[in-house]
Structure 1
Amino acid sequence: MPKSQRIAVAGGTGGIGNHLVDGLLELQSRSPSSISKVIVLSRSSNKPYLQSPSSELRAPVIAVDYSSVSSIANVLSEHQIDTVISTLVGEPAQFISAQENLLQAALSVPTVHRFAPSEFAPDSELIKSVPLYEMKLPILKSLREAKAQRSSSSLPFEFTKFNCGIFMNYFGFGSPKPNGSQALGHLRAFPYVVDISKGTADVPGDGNDKIWYTTTEDVGRFVAEATQLKEWPETSNMAGEAVTINEVIEKAERISGRKITPKYNTEAELLARMDPNPSTWMGNFYLDVYISIIRQEQLQETSNLNELTNVKPTTVEEFLQKWWGKEN
C-alpha cells in the first residue's frame, strides 16, 4: 500500500484535530519527501490556514458541507488527497451522518486509499458502558465493508482506529508556570479526575486500575509517523504511559509538593450522581467513562505504534515535572 502523501484532516481546527495538523506539518518540515500536502476540512473557514508551531509551513482551511457528499468529494479530488483523517465531534445523529458522508466522498475519489475515523480516545469497541461511544461504531462497519469490497479491486483501501487512551494534558490544568496555560495545548481547560491546582481527585473505583495516557502533542506525532507506514493495521494503539490513578496522585504530590485528597467512588455512588434528565447530549458522559474504568473496559492491547514508529512519548512523570515541578 502506498504511504500517505496528501492528507486531509476533517475537523482539524478543533482540539485534537489541531494537534494532528501540527504533527503532520512538523513531519513535512523535517522530511519534505514524506508528506507533500496537508489540508484542513472545516464547517467554516474563519481561519484561512493553520501554521506549524515549528516551521513556516501552513495547512489551508477549506470550508465543506458535511451534509453534501459531492461537496466533500470535490475538495478531496481537487487536492488529489490520498488519506482522510477524521477528528469530527458533535451530537450523535449529526456526527454519524457527517462521518458517513465523509467516507462516501472519500470512496468516490480514486486517489483516496486510506481513512481514519474519529477515535482518539480509548478503543470505542471495548467501551460498553459509555452510550455516547456507540455513535463511533456505525462508521467502523462501513469501513470494514468498504475494505472487503476493495480487497480484490485495483483501488485498494485500508483504515485504522487511532486509540490513545486519555489525554495526559488534563493533568496540566491550573499549572502555576508562567506559560502554564500551554499545558492544555489546543484542548479546552478541564481537570480530569486529578485536579492538582485544588488538591483534589475524583477517583472512579479504588484508583488501582491502569489507564493509558498520551499527550495530545505525542498523538499528533504518532499519527504523522503512522502515515508513513507501508500498511495500516485496523487498530493503531499508542500510549505515553499506562499508570493507575493512585500512581498519578503519588507522582503529582511528590513533584508539586501539594497534598492531594482523593474521593474514591463506587459504581453505585457514580450511578447515584447521574442526571436522570441531562440537558445536553454530553449529559452523563464523564460519569459513564468513570464507570467504564471501574469495569476495566479501558485496558488497551499492546501499543503497536510505540513499536512501529520512532516517537519517544512523554511519560506522566515527565509531563508533571514540566508543568508542576519546583524551580531549582
Structure 2
Amino acid sequence: MPVVAIAGGTSTGLGRALTVAILESADRHWTPVILSRSDKRPPWLRAIDADGLVPVVAVDYMSVASISDALRTHKVHTLLSVALAKDGSQNRLQLNLVEGAREAGVQRYVPSYWGLGVEAYRHVTVMRMGAEGVWEACEKAQRETGMQCARFNCGGFMNYFGIGAHPPARQQQQLTDEELVEQLRQGGGYAAGEDAGEQGVDRDGDMADGSGCYLLKPRGLCAEVPLSPSGGYPRFTTTTLRDVGRFVAAALELETWEGDMNIVGDTVRLDEMIRTTEALLGKKLAVETISPADLDKQIGQLRMPDDFMKLLWLELKREHAKDEVGNGVLDGNVNRMCPHVKPVSFKEYMHAQWS
C-alpha cells in the first residue's frame, strides 16, 4: 500500500481529522505515517490504533536532512503538512518540508494552507508571513522533479460555531487518561460531546468576551460580523474539520490534483447563519456589524507586536467582507471530484450541536 505522511499529524485538529479519515477509508488503500516533533502518541491515536500500527516519527522541522531521512525511510508517496510553528519559524518549517520532500523523492506534497482561498494569503499578515515563497518553492519542485503539489483550502472551520454547546467533559467528569482513551475509542477518535463537536479547533477567535468564538457565539446570544462594501452580509464558506479529513482521504485516490483543491462544507450568507441560529435557539442574537472602513481603521490603530492576534482576526474579517470567490468564498472543485463525500451543512451542524 502507498504511504501517506502527515506532518503535524499528532494535533487534535487537522492532524487527527486526516489520520482518522484515512484509517476509516472503506478500502484502506493508504498507510499513514505521522511526523511530529516528538514520537509520543496522543490519546486519540492510542484509541484508534491500539496496536501501534501507525508510526509516529520524531523529526526536526528545522533540518531538511531530518525530514528527508524520515520520508525516505518510510518510502512516503504523499506528504500532507498541517504542521504549525507559533514561534515565528513557520515559514522556514514550510520551506524545509518542501525541500525535504523533494530530496526524498516524494511524489505529491500539500503545504500548510488549510484555510481561506489563496487570495487571502496575499492580504492576511500572519498567513502571508508563514507562506512567503512556499508555493513558489512547490512550483519549482514540480517543474524540476515532477512532484505534484496542491494547496487545500476549506474556508473557515465550522467547529467554531460549536464552542460552548457542551460542557468541558474531562474537567467535569475528571476522566483519567485510561478513561479518556476508552471514550475516544468508542467515538472513533473523538470523545462524545465537546470534543466531537469542536473537533480540536483552537479556541482563539476574537469575540469580545474571550470565549474563543469567531463571528457567532450562540451560548452568549451574540454575533460580531463584517459587512460587504455594499453594506450587505457577505457569503461565508465553512467546513468541519472532520469533513476536511474525509475529502482529503478521498482525494488521495485521484490520479491528478489541481493546484488549488477547494473543499466546501457549506457556503452561507452571514445573515442566513444568524437566522438559522436564532430559529434553532428560539431567541434573537445581539448582532454587531462592522464595515470595511471601520475594519481598516481598527487595523490602523493596532500596536505591533502586542496586537498580532488581533490583527489576524481583523484581517480575516476584512477578507470575508470582500465576498469574493477564491477568498472567503470557495468554488468546491474537490466536491465535484469526490461526489461520494457528503459534507455536513451549517444547518445540520448547528442542529447537531445546539438542539
Determine the C-alpha separation between the residues in 2 that align with 1:249 and 1:66.
42
Cα distance, 1:214 vs structure 2: 0.5
Residues 1:43 and 2:37 are matched in the alignment: yes
Cα distance, 1:201 vs structure 2: 0.3
Task: Tell me the residue number matched to 2:201.
Answer: 187
Residues 1:320 and 2:350 are matched in the alignment: yes
Once structures 1 and 2 are overlaid, which stretch shifts more, 120-129 or 219-228? 120-129
TM-score when scaled to structure 2? Answer: 0.82
Task: Tell me the residue number matched to 2:116.
Answer: 122
Which one of the candidate residues 232, 253, 277 is aligned to 2:257?
232
Determine the C-alpha separation between the residues in 1 that align with 2:201 and 2:322.
27
Task: Tell me the residue number matched to 2:80.
Answer: 85
Whether the 8 Å CA contact 1:84–1:114 is kept in 2: the answer is yes
Whether the 8 Å CA contact 1:124–1:137 is kept in 2: the answer is no
Instruction: Kindly tell me the number of residue pairs found equivalent between the two proteins.
Output: 312
Q: Secondary structure of 1:108's match?
A: helix
Determine the C-alpha separation between the residues in 1 that align with 2:329 and 2:215.
19
CA deviations on 1:47-90 (whole Å, 9 max, x unpaired) are 27853876767522211101111111111111110111111222
Determine the C-alpha separation between the residues in 2 that align with 1:280 and 1:67.
27
Determine the C-alpha separation between the residues in 2 that align with 1:268 and 1:276.
18
Task: Tell me the residue number matched to 2:56.
Answer: 61
Whether the 8 Å CA contact 1:22–1:52 is kept in 2: the answer is no
- Look up the equivalent residue of 2:144 and give its one-letter code: Q
Whether the 8 Å CA contact 2:20–2:245 is kept in 1: the answer is yes
Q: 1:7 to 1:235 in 2, by over 3 A?
A: same
Whether the 8 Å CA contact 2:5–2:35 is kept in 1: the answer is yes
Determine the C-alpha separation between the residues in 1 that align with 2:329 and 2:284.
30
Task: Tell me the residue number matched to 1:311.
Answer: 341
The 5 Å alignment of 1:138-177 reads: 138-150=133-145, 156-176=146-166
Which one of the candidate residues 7, 29, 33 is aligned to 1:10?
7
- Look up the equivalent residue of 1:103 and give its one-letter code: V
Residues 1:133 and 2:132 are matched in the alignment: no
Determine the C-alpha separation between the residues in 2 that align with 1:40 and 1:49.
14
Determine the C-alpha separation between the residues in 2 that align with 1:85 and 1:293.
26
Determine the C-alpha separation between the residues in 1 that align with 2:289 and 2:307.
26
Once structures 1 and 2 are overlaid, which stretch shifts more, 38-47 or 141-150? 38-47
Determine the C-alpha separation between the residues in 1 that align with 2:36 and 2:48.
23
Residues 1:284 and 2:290 are matched in the alignment: no
- Look up the equivalent residue of 2:295 and give its one-letter code: L
**Higher share of residues assigned helix:** 2
Percent identity reads 29
Residues 1:201 and 2:223 are matched in the alignment: yes
Q: Which structure 2 segments of 5+ residues have no match?
A: 170-191, 204-211
TM-score when scaled to structure 1? Answer: 0.88
Whether the 8 Å CA contact 1:236–1:305 is kept in 2: the answer is yes
Q: Secondary structure of 2:220's match?
A: coil
Determine the C-alpha separation between the residues in 2 that align with 1:137 and 1:307.
30
